[in-house]
Structure 1
Amino acid sequence: MSDLENQVLTSLRRIIRATYLHSRKLEKQSGLTTSQLIIIQAVNVLRDPTVSAIAHAASLSLATVTTILNRLEKNGLVSRCRSVTDRRRVIVTLTDAGAAICVKAPRPLQDQFVDRFNRLPSEQQNQIVKALDGVATMMDVKVTDAAPMPQSNESII
């Protein structure tokens, strides 16, 4: 293996390791997985969303969101109820415990990345986006259940 190949693979391992360590820290501090926190934050940002709105906002499949919501509801962090105006719609809301987790959850890893990324010149930002898209293509990554966590101050639908 060439030195350049080793450097690329080492960088990939560092990214994977940082993500893994942050996920463990998040789970230890909040008791939530990254996916669960993404869902809780989406519910917080969207204010009484439907399951499909959460799935869209978090770029997760309906099946994945439903499974996560089942666990969050079982743990008393969200509640689901039928809409009064349209009984076909299921509305998701945070419980007081879920709202408290939103406030005290650790800062997401991607927030730190985005802060640093935004300080880069736009040319360098574009190079990073192009390189990462290329890496994802080389790794045969398709559209997956992976999205940045929504921020409380941004519209995600």
Structure 2
Amino acid sequence: MTAQSPQGTAVSSDVAVPAYIFDHDDPAALFTRLQRMVIHLELLQAEAVRSFDVTFRDFVILATLRKEPAPHALEVSQIARYVLRPMGSISQGLDRIERAGLITRTASTDDRRKVIVALTDQGRSLADRMLSSYDATRDRVFARLGPDQLERIDAAVTDLLVALDANYLEHADNPETPKENP
């Protein structure tokens, strides 16, 4: 059985969704919908990488490196900024994937205080397979939406991301700002 959201979108009654979540005049309801989307995305992301024996956070690091032009390398600080994680969290992930032979870490030739992380051939191969699985999972969800819907969502999410990034940067040095999700 399905119901209709106020925008006319079919909503399955098999999923427990409180009615207030579709109150489009309530900013709190919008935030709740966004939080629910995050949960769905996290579940889909975990599904996409489950068979590869890596955490999703490790996948994000590997995918970030893979999407860089050859030699698929970045400074540790760049990775931390790109994936919005503190350096300590990134270092732990790098330790795991380096032990697995997926990356190398070397001192920068320009500044020995900087560390360059690069994918190994094994890391590139694994990243390619994981990205393929991730793409298939994403495509399965996006197939439920039309091109116009995807275009509107893309524009709105981009605007929201710009606002969230600005807020993050504005408050990143605030000691009251949580640095890591438990």
Tell me the TM-score range normalised by the shorter chain.
0.5 to 0.7
More relative contact order, 1 or 2 (CA 8 Å, 6+ apart): 1
Q: Distance in 1 between matches of 2:122 and 2:101?
A: 7
Q: How many residue pairs align between the two structures?
A: 137
Q: Distance in 2 between matches of 1:19 and 1:126?
A: 15
TM-score, normalized by length of structure 1?
0.62
Question: 1:7-26 counterparts in 2 under 5 A?
Answer: 15=37, 18-26=40-48
Asked if 1:59 is matched to 2:84, the reply is: yes
Contact 1:81 1:92 in 2 (8 A): yes
**Which amino acid letter does the alignment assign opposite residue 69 of structure 1?**
L
Compare the two structures and name the one with the higher strand fraction: 2
Contact 1:42 1:54 in 2 (8 A): yes
Contact 1:59 1:145 in 2 (8 A): no
1:39 to 61, 68, 72: 61
Q: Distance in 1 between matches of 2:49 and 2:149?
A: 34
Residues 70-117 of structure 1 deviation map (CA, whole Å, 9 limit, x = unaligned): 111122111101123321221101112111111111125884467877
Q: Distance in 2 between matches of 1:127 and 1:44?
A: 25
Distance change >3 Å, CA 96–CA 126, structure 1 → 2: closer
1:20 deviates by 4.5
Question: 1:1-157 counterparts in 2 under 5 A?
Answer: 4-5=19-20, 15=37, 18-46=40-68, 47-105=72-130, 106-108=133-135, 111-112=138-139, 119-120=147-148, 124-125=152-153, 129=157, 143=168
Match of 1:151 in 2: none
1:121 deviates by 5.2
Q: Distance in 2 between matches of 1:60 and 1:12?
A: 20
Q: For structure 1, which segment, 20-29 or 89-98, has the greater mean C-alpha deviation from structure 2 after superposition?
A: 20-29
SS at match of 2:110: coil
Q: Distance in 2 between matches of 1:84 and 1:127?
A: 40
RMSD between aligned residues: 4.1
Identity %: 22
Q: Which has the higher Rg, Structure 1 or Structure 2?
A: 2
| Ranges in structure 1 where 5+ consecutive residues have no aligned partner | 147-157
| Ranges in structure 2 where 5+ consecutive residues have no aligned partner | 1-17, 24-28, 169-177
TM-score, normalized by length of structure 2?
0.55
1:54 deviates by 1.1
